[in-house]
Each structure stands twice: as structure tokens, then as C-alpha cells.
Chain A
């Protein structure tokens, strides 16, 4: 029997190149299975051969998605595989976006099965779940073996043309398709059950999930920037060196307020980043690269803005639940309203 030819994509970490310090590395290629791909090949068994493993740093691909993506797609094309696998990316947003983008492009251009895996906290899920089968995974590599095995089993189903069960049963994120299924009980009876479950506080599952898209209206423009007071906020986790509020390095549920009154610039060493999601060294070397106090002061002096608010706001946006980040957002909104601030400049990592 002809073996299934697979090309596999992993980031620098799962390609055994290194951690954050290697996250800016470019594309490299291994003939055969490497890193996570080895575990995948083993899980799939005899019927599959990983012909190549492509590795790219998370920053490199996330910062140049289309350019680096097309470079990788060219490599995939060269091998003309039967299937493409990426990840799993767990909660890593940069990795997830890379995996999701590559899978969606492979499907679009070559029309072969392409799957990946992510945790529900990964922003890549919302961006790519409609185009790509994204299997639900744990939060980090602890569950890697189990997750990779499930990806192998799922791919086998796809290539063998087996009929898939519901997304819940198969363990992938819904893609927004509907399929007719015959139920034992009539809709009216099911609806009444659901109402009763809701009334008595019992768990229940809706049969049709409504899209929760509610885009805000664009806030009105500032009429005259030169009269406006601006506050700097960041989710990049920059705090005073002694971290007085004991801000966490992931999943912050709050924000800190830090005095910059009279400061023309943020000095190296006095402000330190606590954020486990990226290589902090370059912005630690010059904290203004993340919280641009020096540039804002210049613009204040030049009269481009009216004033820089005398404190900046900081939180750590990493693997942060929607609930926590929404609460932090509400808190920051209240702060802005109560402090005569006209607009916000928020820097994100």
C-alpha cells in the first residue's frame, strides 16, 4: 500500500531549536520527521511517512505572515504531499496564527487535508476555525502526546473518507456548517427540556449557537489632538522593577497604574517586563520601546498632543481568559473616565 506523504510544520520550540531566544529564526527544513512530527508519525503508524518537517520561529512568521507563509507554502508545494499537519499550538497565539494560516493556505491552494490543534484560548481558533479543522488541545505541551495522537487518528479518518461525527464528539472547533441529523424526540419536546434545564440551573447545550459578534461603533475622532490628554496603556507587562503590585507574568486579572510624572524617559533597569510570552530582552534594554514615554514627552513639548497623562497603565496579556481581559478592560475604561483622559494609546506584544 502506498504510504500517505505528510509535510509537518512546527515552531522553533517544538522543532528543538530553542525557546524565545530562537523565536525570530527564519524558515528551516528537515528531510523526514523531526520534533513533534516524530511523535505524530509514530502515532499514525505504518501508513504514513513524514517526508519533511518545516520549522520557523514564532515571531518570524507572525510578523510577516504572508511573506514567510508563501515561502513555506512553496516548500510544501515542492514535496506535493497528501496531507499537511501543523502544531499543535496549544495557547501560543503566534504559533496558532502561523499554523492556522498555513493550513488554510494549503487547503485553498492544493486542496489536500490540512489540520492543526489549539487550545480554546488561542486567538488562532477564531481566525481559522471556519477554513481548517482545528482539534481542541490542552493548554501546553503537557498534553502533547495525547493531542498529537488525536490529530493522527483524525487525519486517518479524513483521508479514509470516514464520516465525521459532530465537532463535539470529534473534538474539533465548530466550523459553522450545519448537517441534518435525525433526532429521537421532536423539537418542541427538546426545547421544553432545555427551558426546564435552564430554569433549574442544570447544564444544557443549545442546538444552534448564535454568532457572538457585536462590533462596536467607532468612537468619535478627537477633534484637536493638540488639546487632548492621552494615556499610555500596555498589555506587554512592563512594571516598576520591584513589581509592587505583584503582577503575574500570564493571565493577569487586573492592571497596574504607575507614576511617570516628571519623567522624560523610562530608564533601563528601573522598569522590568513580566510577561512569559515573548523575548523581553530588547524592550527591557529600552522600556520606551514598549511604553513610549520618551516619544510622548517630545510630542507633548512640540504641542502635537495636549498632555501625557502622568501615569501609565499596564497589564500582562498572555493566555488571558476573555473574562479576565474584559474585566481589565472595564477597569481601564473606568480609570480613563474618572481621570479627564481623552484618548488611549495601547501597545500590545
Chain B
């Protein structure tokens, strides 16, 4: 409902979430499926440096949706 209010006001928003059917049912326009409910942009199985690189990649991918 937060994103719904933002989008109603015309503010470009990307929602990084895991339960995408819920966001979709609410009518969210830009949805990026996260890694996990518990850690949306984490990959705890990776060593710290690689995890950061992976998070940069994922965050960039999500943000790119704002340009579409």
C-alpha cells in the first residue's frame, strides 16, 4: 500500500520484494524479485567481498527498472 500511494502521486518506485504475487495484486508497477524474504539483497553464502559485488549488481538491476 506504501508503493501504491507513491505511484498514485506519480513517484517512480521499484519494490524489491519476494512475495511478488502480493505486490502484483496490489497493483505495484515496478517489482524486482528479491533473493529472500529474510534478506532481500543478501547472499550470505558468499564471502563478504563477493556478496557486496553481487548486491551492487542486484541493486543496479532493480534501479534500472526505473528507467523503463
Task: Give A residues with C-beta under 8 Å from B.
Answer: 24, 59, 62-63, 65, 93-94, 97, 123, 126-127, 213-223, 225, 228, 230, 233, 235-236, 278-280, 282-283, 285-286, 288-290, 292, 294-296, 298-299, 304-305, 315, 317, 320, 322, 325-326, 328-330, 332-333, 336-337, 341-349
Contact = CB atoms under 8 A, between A and B. Distances in A.
A343 B42 contact: no
Q: Which of B15, B25, B37 has the most CB of A within 10 A?
A: B37
A294 B1 CA distance: 27
Given A286-B42, A345-B62, A123 B5 contact: no
Q: Which of A218, A286, A298, A344 has the most CB of B within 10 A?
A: A344
A223 B60 CA distance: 15
Contacts of A332: 2, 5-6
Given A326-B4, A336-B6, A347-B41, 14 more contacts: A63-B36, A219-B7, A219-B11, A283-B39, A289-B39, A290-B42, A294-B55, A328-B1, A328-B2, A329-B6, A346-B6, A347-B17, A348-B16, A349-B40
Main secondary structure of the interface of A (DSSP, over half): mixed
B52 interface: yes
A1 B3 CA distance: 54
B38 A329 contact: no
B19 to A, nearest CB: 6
Interface of B: 1-19, 21-23, 25, 27, 29-30, 34, 36-42, 44, 51-52, 55-56, 58-60, 62-64, 66-68
B59 to A, nearest CB: 4
A206 B2 CA distance: 28
27 contacts: A62-B19, A63-B18, A123-B25, A215-B27, A219-B29, A222-B12, A233-B2, A288-B41, A290-B39, A290-B42, A295-B55, A295-B58, A299-B56, A305-B63, A329-B3, A333-B6, A333-B11, A337-B11, A343-B14, A343-B66, A344-B13, A345-B63, A346-B6, A348-B15, A348-B16, A348-B19, A349-B37
A307 B50 CA distance: 24
A97 B68 contact: no
Contact of A346 (B14, B21, B38): B14
Nearest to A215: B27
